[in-house]
Structure 1
Amino acid sequence: MPFVATCDLFDTFKDSARFLQPGLRDFGAVTRFSGTVVTVKCVDDNSRVKELLATPGAGKVLVVDGAGSLRCALMGDMIAASAVKNGWAGVVIWGCVRDVAELQKLDLGIKALASMPRASTRRDQGLVDVPVELPGALVNPGDALFADEDGVVLLTAEQAASLK
């Protein structure tokens, strides 16, 4: 999916474009990315995040609803390196990451709330490909996500197809 600047998307779609509330920070070497959304809903358990990012990403973006938890990181350098190796375009985490110095070197878009050195405990929990409610927008599997320095914008697949 070709990248389009988030401000341009708002100029085109006006109020029908969805957006996440401000607060996410850039952690990866890539600050402008786009792709079809895959979702994970998990709190303090990155089992599904690790599993998904170890599969072929084909330019998709993983959106993780970590419930805004600041208790532990849901992704670190090893899982992020797996995402790069498997062709994911980006990861958006409503929660924390860790290994920030290493994440900054990776060719991956990474947006998250904060950094936290504590790793999550894997308990084999989490839901995949379910709608997730992040501050500002409902995010559905299959949505088109566009992220840049101005924020994160979501379009339906139909809206994204009209960009071509």
Structure 2
Amino acid sequence: MRFATCDLCDANEDKLANGQVRVLPPIYQAFGALEKFSGRASTLKLFEDNGMVRTVLETPGDGRVLVIDGGGSLRCALLGGNLGVLAQKNGWVGVIVHGCIRDVAEINACQIGVRALAAMPVRSIKRGGGEHDGRISLSGVAVTPGDWIYADQDGILISADALHSN
């Protein structure tokens, strides 16, 4: 799929103005081998517990993007190298984490796109708590399961409707 978030913003200024297209603030760092990725969102809301991240990434991704509201915690990582490999193997195109990741070299070798606030070597607990496929908020920006996610070097867009043409 060919797109540029800048071009999508230019072509959809009316949707940006009325909130149909939303932009995450420029606080997310890029990881993973894919610099550019897009797909429908599947969401998770959890805090310092990545047990449910594994559970979801074990399912077929079908080209979707897992969007994780980790509460912005910088105290532990919610995604590591093993989960990056699992995401790639099961057809997830990307993961966005409002929190941290670890095993950066391993994640960078995976053919997925990852955006996160930072890297942190401390792992999370694994109790499996959280909410799957509910409406979440990342940095004050709403994400609903099924929304289209577009990420490239310039930023991350969220839209209920597809903004690209194949």
Q: TM-score range by the shorter chain?
A: over 0.9
1:10 aligns with 2:9: yes
1:107 aligns with 2:103: no
* Match among 142, 159, 162 for residue 160 of structure 1: 162
Return the letter of the residue paired with 2:103.
D
Alignment partners' CA distance in 1, 2:49 and 2:93: 22
Question: Unpaired segments of 5 or more residues in structure 2?
Answer: none
Question: Unpaired segments of 5 or more residues in structure 1?
Answer: none
Give % identity: 45
Alignment partners' CA distance in 2, 1:21 and 1:134: 9
Change (3 A) 1:162 1:30: closer
Alignment partners' CA distance in 2, 1:161 and 1:114: 28
Alignment partners' CA distance in 2, 1:121 and 1:27: 22
Change (3 A) 1:109 1:162: closer
Residue 87 (structure 1) shift: 0.5
1:1-164 matched pairs, under 5 angstroms: 2-14=1-13, 15=16, 16-156=20-160, 159-160=161-162, 163=165
Residue 163 (structure 1) shift: 4.0
Q: Is the 8 Å Cα contact of residues 19 and 136 (structure 1) preserved in structure 2?
A: no
Describe the superposition over 1:49-91 as per-residue Cα deviations: whole angstroms up to 9, x where unpaired. Answer: 1111111101000000001001100010001100000010000
C-alpha RMSD of matched pairs (Å): 1.3
